[in-house]
Every structure is written in C-alpha cells, then in structure tokens.
Amino acid sequence: MALIDAGIKAPRFRAVTEANVHRTPEWYRLDEDLREAVRVVSRVLPFRTNQYVIQSLINWSRVPEDPMFQLTFPQAGMLHEEDYETIAGLMRAGASEESIGREVSRIRQELNPHPAGQLTHNVPAWDDKPMRGLQHKYRETVLFFPSHGQTCHAYCTFCFRWAQFVGVDGLKFACRDPAVLVDYLRAHPNVTDVLFTGGDPLVMNTRNLRRYVEPLLDPALDRVQNIRIGTKAPAYWPHRFVTDRDADDLLRLFEQVASSGRQLAIMAHLSHPVELSTDVAREALCRIRSTGAVVRTQGPLVRHVNNDPHVWAELWRTGVRLGVVPYYMFVERNTGAKEYFQVPLVRAWEVFQAAYQQVSGLARSVRGPCMSAFLGKVRIGGVTEMHGQRVFVLEYLQARDPTLVRRPFFARFDPQAVWFTGLVPATERDCEFFPDPGLLLGADEHHNPDRLSA
C-alpha cells in the first residue's frame, strides 16, 4: 500500500512535555499564570502533547478558553486550591525534589486513582497471582495492556487512566509477553473480544504491535472474533496511518486481521469535532477504513471542552460522513481532575438528548450518557416521575453480572449528583442494581453510606 500524494507533510513526531514546552513559540503566548499552572499541575498529573496538536488543533487566539487547549494543557483548577498552592509554594521556594515528591504522592492518593475496582476486582488471577497486564470485568471482553503501548501521543487532561502515566509501578498495568494473553484466552472460552488499551497501543511501532496481535489470529483462538484497539492516534497523531515510516505496514496488519475473518475495531477516542477537521486526520480515517477495519468513536462529556449539544451533534455528523460509527458518550469518571471537568448527571442527559435530536438515524448508534461504574456500564435513560417523586431511569448496558443487563431500574433524582455513587435507589426493588457499600470500600471507589437507606 503506497503512501498517498495529497500534499500532506510527514513531520517527525516530537513529544512536548513540561521539560521542553518552553522551547515552543506558543509557550510565550501564555501569560505567566498559565505557564505556572502548566509547571505546577504537571508535577501531579501527567502532561504530554506534540507539535501537531499545538500547531493544528489549538486555536491560540482563543486560549485559555479554546477546547483543545483545555483538553491538552494543564489548568490551575485541576487541583484543589490548597493543593495547588502547596506545590506552587514549594516550587517557588526552591524546595527539594524529595519534599515536593512527598506532597505530590499525597495529592495523587486523594485523587482516586484507578476507580471502579480496576485494581481490586478487574485484575484476574493466574496460579493465584494477579495478572497486572490484563483486566477482565465483563464475561466476553478482556482488556490487555501491552508494555510497549503504555504512553500516548498526547495526554488528555481529563484522562481517567492518569495514574498509568505518573511513573508509580504499583499503579501501572502492563504486560510484555503475548503468551500470557494467549494462555489466558485458551483457558477462558467465553471471551470473544480482546481490547488492546493503555496508554495508546498505536504509539508502538508496527513490529511490536504485530507481536501482540498476530497470535490472536491462530485458528485455535477462533472464538476471539473481535479485536479492538483503543486509540487517540486519529485525533492526536493521524500521521501514524499516513506518513509515518511504518504506516503502510500498520495498515497491512489491519488487513491481515480483517482477512482472518475477525472484526478489527479501532476505538477512536474523540472529544471535539476539531479533531476531525484536518486533511491528514480525514485521510487517516479513509486509509484505516480501506483495510476493512471499523472505526467507532467514543469520549466523555467534560466541562470546558464539549459541554454543548451542538458540539456533540457536529462530532457525530462529521464522524458518520467520514465513515466513523458513533459508539459512546461517557460521563467523566470520578478520578483525577474530576471536579474541574465533571457536570451534573442531569446536565449530561440533557446534552445527550439535545444532541441526539439533531442527528439522523445513522448517528443514533451512539449510546449514552454512560458511567463505567463498579458493577458495569450504566446508561442514563432519562428523568421521569414515579409514585410522586422524580427519578433517574437507568439501565446496565454491560455488567459484571450479565443478568443485570438491560433491566430498567430507578434512582432518586438528585440535581447535584455527578456520578453513580452519588445516587440512591428509588425503591427497595432497585437496591439489587447498586453495589454493596462494603464492596466499594475495597474497590478504590468513593461511596455514599446512605445509598441503601431508601
């Protein structure tokens, strides 16, 4: 598959972090408060971007309000005011790295790393040992974290996997041995889907990615029918599919998966329609689809970035026009800089409903707003009245216990609730759809002790 001649330049990928962002001309367009925020917040939460994002996606005349700037550059409000001042004060005073590091560790632990039982309940055991490179929450789907793919072309400021990137071994999921995944799949015949995730598996060169993917094409694993790759590359580094040195080889690997009779699903994390606005992004999607792969788009509703139904409607319409299947609108998870990005659940439902009403049936494949909570993916179906009280209408689209799936249940309406753990069952019957508080205490999830008092 030859490289296209569409006038698209082939830049060399260059990561931009707190250590070298000052070398970019755009850095000096920021006032000192914004520059300090980048330096301070990036000590706690990871910061990484690249020249493509800086030069092609951010509208610098709109900074700091520009959504792509908010999406990729740390903001002061991402930390509690007292925590921000603690780190800023230490840095201004020239404190030792050890002193700063102690405060950074304390703050990170208070930011609920790896929520919803990812460490305590999602990691399977093999020979009584936890397999820290896998997660198996739902019967049919296994998540695999290839070691070579545990970074990203750029980090989203809202990322719920922020703890994966801060250099703390105890918080990181990773596995470098493809045989571990293969052996696990052979022992679990119910698994039909494998999701390569991270980080971003497409930061890997094709040679390394092939090491992980090709073993799944063995006819002995024909039960595995769907291979998914979770990635932000079409948005943050579309050159990966167009002009990178091994772009053609990557597309040949995609073709190999499709020709094996399996579906290859590129789970493209898209947050704003501007990510689909460049020629190279559109060419990347065209080339991916030419291999037989399906591209699906998903992302969370977050304040400062896409808290607007018109933004979502445009994203879905543009995606459909480019052959992308709208898949999920998520609720921002209760981790990291959640208080800066979160919106009330009722607002999330209102945005989804208003956006959904603006698009045709081809875009209505999207599901949402959904919360990836402890027991499963909870969709907010709406708000209604029942027995004289307002309630949220909810359902599980996926669950640890498959018997919970697609059975409607109800929670008391709370205009301030921002996550599932802030909701209370509307009736005694609804209690079975809410996890036992004792489970949540051991699952890295904040819980409401009054939840079962309905």
Verdict on whether the full-model pTM lies above 0.85 = yes
**Residue 447 pLDDT > 80:** no
> What was the pLDDT predicted at 450?
30
Q: How far apart are CA 174 and CA 400, in angstroms?
A: 22
Residue 297 clears pLDDT 60, i.e. is over it? yes
Q: Where are the domains of the chain?
A: 15-109
Mean of the per-residue pLDDT values of the chain: 92
Residues 315-338 pLDDT 10s:
999 999 999 999 999 999 999 999
Is it the case that residue 380 has pLDDT exceeding 80? yes
Q: Is residue 183 scored above 90 in pLDDT?
A: yes
Rounded Cα distance, 149 and 411, in Å:
39
**216-245 residue pLDDT tens:** 999 999 999 999 999 999 999 999 999 999
Sequence-distant (≥ 6) Cβ neighbours of residue 142 within 8 angstroms = 134, 135, 136, 181, 184, 185, 188, 191, 193, 194, 195
Nearest Cα neighbor of 131 from 195, 180, 185, 200 is 180
DSSP string, 107-154: HHHTT-SSTTTTTTTSS-EETTEE-TTEEEEETTEEEE-BGGG-S-SS
247 pLDDT higher than 90: yes
Predicted confidence at residue 452, as pLDDT, reads: 25
The span from the CA of 51 to the CA of 165, in Å, is 20
pLDDT at 439: 57
Q: pLDDT confidence of 130, banded at 50, 70, 90?
A: confident
* CA atoms in the 13 A half-sphere facing the CB of 264: 24
pLDDT digits (tens, 9 = 90+) for 43-100: 999 999 999 999 999 999 999 999 999 999 999 999 999 999 999 999 999 999 999 9
The pLDDT value given to residue 444: 45
